[in-house]
Structures are given as C-alpha cells and as structure tokens.
Structure 1
Amino acid sequence: MRNIPTRHTAGRTIGGAVAALSLITLTACGGDSGSESTGAAEKLGENEGEVSILAWPGYVEDGSTDPEVDWVSGFEKETGCQVTSKVYGTSDEAFNLAKSGEYDVVAASGDLTLRMIAAGQAAEVNTDLIPNYEGIYDFLKDREWNTVDEKNYGIPHGYGANLLMYNTKDVTPAPTSWKAVFEDAPKHKGQVTAYDSPIYIADAAVYLMAHQPDLGIENPYSLDEKQLAAAVDLLKAQRTSVGEYWSDYTKTQASFETGDTVVGTTWQVIANLIDPKKAPVEAILPSEGATGWNDTWMISSKSKSPNCAYAWLNHISDPEVNAQATEYFGEAPNSDKACEFASEGHCETFHAGDEEYAKKIWFWNTPINDCLDGRTDVECTDYQDWTKAWAEIKG
C-alpha cells in the first residue's frame, strides 16, 4: 500500500534529520516549492462549507459505492463541509494531481509525503487542533515520513504490509520467502505479478538485504549506485516471468480468480476479497520481512478550506470512523480505541498495535541523495533515479 528492532529506531533518529537536510534536493526533483504558506495554523475559524480530498480508493466513502459504507455524510451534516473527492492509483499520480492546488486534503503514503513537503505542497499540521490525535498509537507518530525537523505534516491513518500471495493449488510447497517471486519466478512464468511503481525496487532490496548481505544494504530506501544496480538486475530477471504489473487492486484480484496469476505481491484486502471457490489463496509475511504503507492525512499548503481540512483530519481520526474506514480498505487502524469498533478479528488479522509485527515492515519512504541509513561517505540514489530505473526494468 515494510527487521530487527534497531531498523526503525535508526530511521527515527537518522532518517528525520536526513530528510530535513535533503529538502532542497527533493525540491529540485519534485518541482515548484510554491509561494504558499506551509506554517501550522495557530487557531481555527469558521468552516468554509466545502473540502476537496485526494485519496486512495476506499478512503472517502459516502454511500454511493455501498449504502452501508458511509463516513462522509455524517461529517457533512456535523460540520457543514461538503466533500468532493478524487481517487488515485499510485503515489506518482497523486503527486502530480496535488500540484494543481485543487485539493485541500491528501491521503499520502510514505513514498509521497516527503516529496509533497519538499515541493512546498504540504502545510505543517498543528496536532493540538485535532482532539483525536492524542489516542493514535505512539509508534505511528513523529516518524520520518510524516515529521521533518520536529514539525508534523499530517495525521497517521492506517497501515499494512505488502504481502506475498499464492494460489495454494498451483504453488507448492507453500512458500515462506520472497524467493517465490524472484529466483523461483520462472517456475510460474507469465503468472507472476508485482506492484507497478518505482517504489517496488525497495521490495527487491528487502530480499537482497537477507540473501546478499555483502551488498551492505541496511535500509531498502537507501541505496547507493551499486546497490540500486543489484536491485535492478534482480527485477529485470523477474520481469521475464511477470504476467502483469498492477496498481488497481481489483484487477489483480480478478487475475488471481481467473488463474492468470498464481503468485505475487498483494495487500491483505485483495486476499480477503478473492472468492476461494475461484482461487484458493494464502497471503503471508515472508521470512525476510516486507515493505508496506503507513498513510498520512496531509493538508495542502494551497488549501482554500483549511478549517474544513482540519475538521476532516479530526473526523477521520475518530476511533469509530477510523475503524470503519480502515476495515473497509483492509489495513490496521490507528488506535486501540478504533479496535473497539472494528469487526471481530479485524485487528488481529491486520496486527493492529503490534509493534513487533510493525518492526518487520519497511514502511514506504522517499529515496533521497543523503542516505537514510546515515552513511555520509557515499551519495545514495533518489526517487528520480528510481523512476528512471523502473522504466528500464519494465522496458
């Protein structure tokens, strides 16, 4: 949408500082830093009557998809802020859409947040103005993808891992490693799937961390030229076995159900949606760990309705609303209180609040030239380099 315990500890102390030092570099790659104010609001005024939201599919539901799935109508009635929304399929698409300034609020994964901050597209958020912020899990707060130079740029929403899914009839013995989609991919040539984004390079890096330790990869989002080249070579080899790359999860669901795909990267929600009569599947967290998403609600620096934007951030962080939204999408909610409103077994399935499980996930982050793993003797590759590499991988 991903360790030994020291991984994320290092990320908090090193990654955040490095991110602050690298904003100029990211801005050069990401576009106009803008002239809008990115400072935090000190107080709130009257709601403007409308709010425009850019989000992943399933994050802003008003009952039009399913009458039973609606956390927008109550918000509109309570606040007077009428919601318009647009969905996107990848973080790259969202970044380009956010540049327009048409959206007040953006739901962003970690491979988007720093780019928005660097480009001056995100406003600092005063969490004191969001009452529901206090109840959010502490391990989701003040992370390198939502906080820069001790300034918060958003509110944690939900999180999950990019899992390995396989058809239990066609893929035997049951895999326990990402080897199933790399070294063993030729066994299922044409029936392997992978996420269609440059950030998927990090998945290859996670595998190489475990199986080629001599490369010295300590953070899958912090790759020097040699390490990036190794990940690219692995993904080029995989490419010959990939039937399709996916960004629309409904399409990969259908591909598994038709048998066109039998193994590949997935989200838990996809595994939940697949009809077991059409395709018996299992989704696992492999032995190497995984990448994952930890999404953040951000306010645009160009927001025309900042008061309604703050109202939305508080609303979507309400435990009952957050439980409904994260369960519908298929991810862990952001608080223990939300689990009290979730369906039985949901929080257990998604390991909500389980910090040890979360330590096995390398949550999406934005690759930058200043190495996120703390190295200063080498320059790391940035997201622009990864974008070029991804085009090369896909041919």
Structure 2
Amino acid sequence: MTKTLLTTTCLALLGLAQAASADTLRLLTWGGYAPDEVIEMFEAETGHTVEVTKSNNEEMIAKLRATGGGGFDLVQPSQDRVMGPQMEFGIYKPIDVSKLDQSLFIPSMLMATMANTTVGDEVYGVPHVWGTSGLVMNTALAGEVVKDYTDLCDPAVAGKVSYRLKRPTLIGFAFAMGEDPFAAYGDEEKYKEIMGKVEAKLTECKANVKTYWGGGDELMNLVRSGEVTASMAWDTGGWKLNEDNADITFVAPASGALGWIDTFVLPAKGQADDAAYAWINFVMQPEIAAKITAVAGNFTASAGADEFAEEALKAKYQASFPQEAIDNIKWYPPVPAGLEAIEGDVLDRVQAAN
C-alpha cells in the first residue's frame, strides 16, 4: 500500500513538473527580439515564463542538430535556414497555422515565408523581423537618375557609386535587368545564363564605381562625405544617414528591394507549443511589435506596427516603403547547392576585369 502510494505520489509530482515545464517558453532568438519589457508584459498576461538564449543562424542550427530538435520551444532562424535543415536533419515540427492570428501579419510577408518554409505539404515557419537591401543615396544629387540597381551604371553618377562585390549585388542587378534569379534556382544552366548577363553588366559598370565597399562604416563615411552619392546598401543604414542629412535615405528599387526575414519555427522536440503560439500572437500585436522595433532597429511583419513606431523612424519607414514597395520585396529563398560556387566565380571575374 505504501509502495503504491509512493508511486502515485511520484507520478503526480512528475506530472506537475512537466506541466510547469510546459509553462516555460525556452526561446532561442537574436539580440533585441525579446526585450525585457515585452517579456514582462507577456508573463503578466499569460502566466507563462520566458527563458531567452541569444544566438545566430549557425549556432541555432548547430544546437538543434546536436539535440535532434530539443532544448528549446521556439527558435528564430532566417527563412533560408528552415527548409534545407529540415529536409536534411528533421529538427523542426510543422506549424499549426490555425493557432495563429493571421490577421496580425502583413499578408505578402506571411504568404512568402510560408511558401519558402514549406516541406512536403507542411509549413514550418512564419515571419517575424525583416529587413532589406536596396538603394541608399543622396536624393538631391542622384534621385532623378537612380531608380533601380542598374541605374548605378548611368554616366550621370559616374565615379560617385559604390556597392559590394557580394551575392546581393548579383541578385539585385539580375532583377533590374528583367530576370528572375530566384525562379532559376532549380535550373543550374539557366542560373549560369542569368549570371553571365549580370557579369557583363557589372564589368561594364566598373568605370562608374568609386570603390567596392566592404564594411558598413566604410560605406557610411563615403556617403556622408559626398564621395559617393548612390549605393546599394541596407535600409537601416540609409535611415541612420538620414539623421545627419535629410537628403540621404533608403529607396526601394523599382525592381524590388531584396528582403530577409527571421522567422518563428517550432523545434522538433519542443515541449511548450501552447506557450510558443501564445508568444507569437502576443508579439505580433502592432503595439508590442513596435516595442521590438525600438530595440532591434528593424521592423516586423506585424500589420500596422509602423503606426506605433517612434515618429522619426516611422516617417523614414513609410517614405521608403509605401505598400507597393513592400509587396514588391524579393524575399531570399533557400540557396540550392552549387549556386554559390557559380556566383563566386562571377564575382572573381568581375573583380579581376579591367
């Protein structure tokens, strides 16, 4: 009788421990994506507690691979780190989109991320924080000329242009030339053909380039000093420069800014799915999302959150991203094996060209 009672008591305590564990959301995320204020508000409203581990894409994948998808209840890899790792390692579980308030998301971003994180018939990721690269320029000096990436080759801005010799430049120029490099990801020969056209354009454009920038500080200084009036760079960099010079800002190119999204994904062995869904629905509320933007510096996929952002940042965002520019963002899909080698060869030849 005592033994039975003891066993029953132990099982009851184990059940309580598991329930308590399920009330704790173990979040693996980036710095700034889970501010203390937001955590406190979530805990007060839901009764769940939150444990945050800050990480990056490489570490997230490594941690989940080591545990087979265990140790965390919600993770935030970039959307191009979802499909491949899931197919190769099986470290995520599908998302039940019926448990999400889809009205909280910007529709075009939600649809794009769901499409880019679908394996089989299952969705594995939904969007959270996003950013883009496009054009950063002095609009008073180059705004009438530079509307798209290839306009950086216009004689009117010769010697006043900068961009990186990296894959975003290849992708941006391809779109501006009327190609769709992402659609060619599954056709290596077609991709080589597109990259060949881009290589020719970038080689022709070399005479226009003041310098190929390497680091963000280098580019910021070039634009601030006036040595560069038009460049290919990221949105937050343009908005930062705008604080010093109202003529300088980020402009979404006519062919579309290139966008990255950090997602919400459920690890395969997560134990607190209810808390994970509650967190997603909580932080995607516009007022809460604006608090994350204030800390992280980037906007979220929360519909209408820009209205609650700090006034100066809201004005910059809305000027750079009218609705048509948001809907025209080209979101990076997963990169198939072999394409980066093709791109590397192209960049090497452009660098070496006279």
Normalization by structure 1: what TM-score? 0.63
Q: Distance between the aligned counterparts of 1:106 and 1:122, measured in 2?
A: 9
Query: Which residue of the other structure, out of 138, 142, 146, is the alignment partner of 1:167?
Result: 138
State the shift of 1:321 in Å. 1.6
Q: Is the 8 A contact 1:253 1:274 kept in 2?
A: yes
The aligned runs of 1:253-292 (5 Å cut-off) are 253=220, 255-259=222-226, 261-274=228-241, 276-277=243-244, 280-292=247-259
Q: Is the 8 A contact 2:133 2:258 kept in 1?
A: yes
> Which consecutive unaligned segments of at least 5 residues does structure 1 have?
1-43, 63-69, 89-93, 210-216, 370-380
Aligned to 1:188: 159
For residues 386 and 304 of structure 1, the distance between their equivalents in structure 2, rounded to whole angstroms, comes to 41
> 2: CA distance between counterparts of 1:389 and 1:100?
34
Q: Does 1:61 align with 2:27?
A: no
Q: Is the 8 A contact 1:169 1:280 kept in 2?
A: yes
Match of 1:244 in 2: 213
Alpha-carbon separation, structure 2, partners of 1:220 and 1:173: 29
Alignment match of 2:80 (pick from 98, 111, 122)? 111
Shift of the alpha carbon at 1:263? 2.4
| Partner of residue 136 from structure 1, selected from 87, 105, 113 | 105
Matches of 2:148 and 2:306, distance apart in 1: 30
CA offset at residue 206 of structure 1?
Answer: 0.8
> What amino acid is the match of 1:329?
G
**Pairing of 1:205-244 with structure 2 (within 5 A):** 205-209=174-178, 217-222=179-184, 223-235=190-202, 241=209, 242-244=211-213
Kindly, what percent of the aligned residue pairs are identical?
A: 17
Structure 2 portions without partners, runs of 5+:
1-18, 185-189
Change (3 A) 1:155 1:129: same
Pick the structure with more helix per residue: 2
AA paired with 2:126? I
Rate the CA distance shift 1:76–1:258 in 2: closer, same or farther, 3 A. Answer: farther
Offset of residue 164 of structure 1: 0.9
Q: Trace 1:1-395 onto structure 2 (pairs within 5 A).
A: 46-47=21-22, 49=24, 51-55=26-30, 58-62=32-36, 70-75=37-42, 78-86=47-55, 88=56, 94-95=57-58, 97-101=60-64, 104=72, 105-119=74-88, 120-130=90-100, 132-143=101-112, 144-168=115-139, 171=142, 174-182=145-153, 184=155, 187-188=158-159, 192-194=162-164, 197-209=166-178, 217-222=179-184, 223-235=190-202, 241=209, 242-246=211-215, 252-253=219-220, 255-259=222-226, 261-274=228-241, 276-277=243-244, 280-301=247-268, 303=270, 309-326=276-293, 329-331=297-299, 333-336=301-304, 338=305, 341-343=308-310, 345=314, 348-349=318-319, 351=321, 354=323, 356-368=324-336, 382-383=339-340, 385-386=342-343, 389=346
Tell me the TM-score normalized by structure 2: 0.69
**Partner deviation per Cα, 1:168-205 (whole Å, 9 max, x = no partner):** 4664754223234345598226x6133x7534421121
Aligned length: 312
Alignment deviations for residues 191-223 of structure 1 (CA, whole Å, 9 cap, x no partner): 6133x75344211211221xxxxxxx3454525
- Code of the aligned partner of 2:107: D
Tell me the secondary structure at the aligned position of residue 293 of structure 1. strand
d(CA) in 2 for partners of 1:351 and 1:171? Answer: 19
CA contact (8 A) 2:299 2:306 kept: no
Secondary structure of the equivalent of 2:38?
coil
Q: In structure 2, what residue type is equivalent to 1:266?
A: A
Instruction: State the SS of the aligned residue for 2:253.
Output: coil
Contact 2:169 2:232 in 1 (8 A): no
Question: Could you give the per-residue CA deviations for residues 47-81 of structure 1, whole angstroms, max 9, x where no partner exists?
Answer: 363524233x643434xxxxxxx434434555212
Summarize deviations over 1:64-111 as a string: whole Å, max 9, x none.
xxxxxx43443455521221213x4xxxxx246523328844434443
- The 1:96–1:204 alpha-carbon spacing in structure 2 relative to 1, beyond 3 Å, is farther
Structure 1 distance, partners of 2:75, 2:166, is 19
* TM-fit CA distance, 1:392: 6.3
**d(CA) in 2 for partners of 1:45 and 1:126?**
23
Q: Which amino acid aligns with 2:249?
A: E
Answer with 1 or 2: which has the greater Rg. 2
Partner Cα distance (1:295, 1:48) in 2: 24
- What RMSD in Å do the two structures reach over aligned CA positions? 3.9
Letter in 2 for 1:334: S
